[in-house]
Amino acid sequence: VAENNMECNSVVDGNVEEVPSKKVIKFNPPLYKQRYQFVKNLVEQHQPKKVADLGCGDVCLLAILKYQKCVEELVGVDINEGKLKWNGSRLSPCVGDHLDPRELDLAITLYHGSVLEKDCRLLGFDLAACIELIEHFDSEDLGKFPEVVFGYMSPTMIVISTPNSEFNSLFPCVVFRDSDHKFEWNRMQFQTWALDVASRYNYSVEFTGVGEPPTGAEDVGYCTQIGVFRKKAEAAELAILEHHGEHVYEVVYTTSYPSLQQINYRRRVVVYLVYREVSRLRQKYQASLRQHELEPEFVACGNRTGKFTSDLPVPVLTEDDKAMEMAPQPFCIEDKFYVPLQRIIAYPRLGHLCGNVEKLREFLGDVIELNCDGSAVKVDLNDCSDF
């Protein structure tokens, strides 16, 4: 409660006691956002493809991580089925995700179940986040946790956050920050536990935290202490995934996102980009005609051709600019404007999406008109209604 910038009471064995008012410490950003940002930074740094949020609650962390371009699979597990059902829709693709698809596929699944149970669908993950989770376990469940998460799931990286009890002296709360907490460790207790777990399951661990203490109280450490566990190289090489194991979790919600790996979305984006580029080049050509910056050449009776010219200073060219300079130029024959496919494919993003002219031609299909030999996009010079 104090983390949300509110005053609180003492909680002892479920009984609420009034305590003398203390100055409430305010975190900016709020502490929960700092924890999520920490995980987000880890994802950006290490680029995991498969991420699990164990004890995902209201799915706030998953809603942040779904925007990370490297992530291809997100999984949330929580014991509270109602929360998962209520918040699952927050993870659904929106209109913008269809208009501007991701580069990579993304599948999101929410499971109802306990993180203390073994489900083979949680094997093979790159990162597992356990944010403010372990303090909700009693001693028996805390004993099971490492065996399941470190021993069975065995992700490449695990991040665990938990309250630092040394910071509690700065809060109005005398005992625990939440009535459901079974314990809150000081730094020595957490680090002793974490080092033991890391040693048993062949991980390394580094300690840090979020929520800096106020000036003059630096000795209490961070408000939230964090351990970042990394599987040692030899352990990663020996890991054997048993995907044929039991499914004990219940699927509460699942969705997938549009991506450029899906041929229909890739074609849609390619067609849009070609429309945009051809329109831009045609407008530039028309402007040059109006400003008399075109050098006309008559190659045949009744056939007018032209090329772009400019008196502007020549800028320093990048490699992409040089590729564009070498590509065939747009041209005009009578009232038709042509943009060679070789020039279109020279645009970096279109080159990335299509790979070669043959694939570009296939994507354009019957949607955009090409010239007789299929080497250029063909549009009316003056009639913009075709685009």
pLDDT band of residue 60 (cuts 50, 70, 90) is very high
Of 73, 84, 165, give the one whose Cα is nearest residue 122. Answer: 73
Model pLDDT, residue 291: 76
Q: What is the pLDDT of residues 35-54, one digit of tens each?
A: 999 999 999 999 999 999 99
* Phi and psi torsions of 15, nearest 5°: -95, 135
Left (φ > 0), alpha (ψ -120 to 50) or beta: where does 211 sit?
A: left
Q: Which residues pair with 377 in a beta bridge?
A: 339, 370
Query: With 80 as the cut, is the pLDDT of residue 176 above it?
Result: no
Query: With 70 as the cut, is the pLDDT of residue 161 above it?
Result: yes
Q: Are 164 and 221 in contact (CB under 8 A)?
A: yes
Model pLDDT, residue 261: 96
- Only one residue has tokens 């969705």, namely 255
Q: What is the pLDDT of residues 194-234, one digit of tens each?
A: 999 999 999 999 999 999 999 888 999 999 999 999 999 86
Model pLDDT, residue 10: 45
Asked whether the CA dihedral 186, 189, 195, 199 is positive or negative, the reply is: negative
Model pLDDT, residue 210: 97
What residue type is 253 in one-letter code? Y
CA 240 to chain centroid = 27
**H-helix segments, the chain:** 31-46, 60-65, 81-87, 95-99, 139-146, 187-200, 233-238, 263-290, 319-326, 341-345, 348-354, 357-364
- Cα separation, 226 vs 276, whole angstroms: 48
Distances (CA, A) of 337 to 266, 283, 294, 306, 353: 26, 11, 14, 10, 24
Rounded to an integer, the average pLDDT of 346-361 is 94
Distances (CA, A) of 69 to 152, 260, 268: 28, 12, 20
Share of the chain above pLDDT 70, in %: 81
Q: Are 56 and 25 in contact (CB under 8 A)?
A: no
Q: What does DSSP say about strands 157-163 and 203-210: parallel, antiparallel, or unpaired?
A: unpaired
Q: In three state form, how does the secondary structure of 211-230 look?
A: CCCCCCCHHHCCCEEEEEEE
Q: What is the pLDDT of residues 254-290, one digit of tens each?
A: 999 999 999 999 999 999 999 999 999 999 888 888 8
- Cα separation, 200 vs 198, whole angstroms: 6
- Cα separation, 130 vs 162, whole angstroms: 9
More confident residue, 180 or 47: 47
- Cα separation, 101 vs 386, whole angstroms: 25
Q: How many CA atoms are closer than 13 Å to the CA of 157, on its beta-carbon side?
A: 17
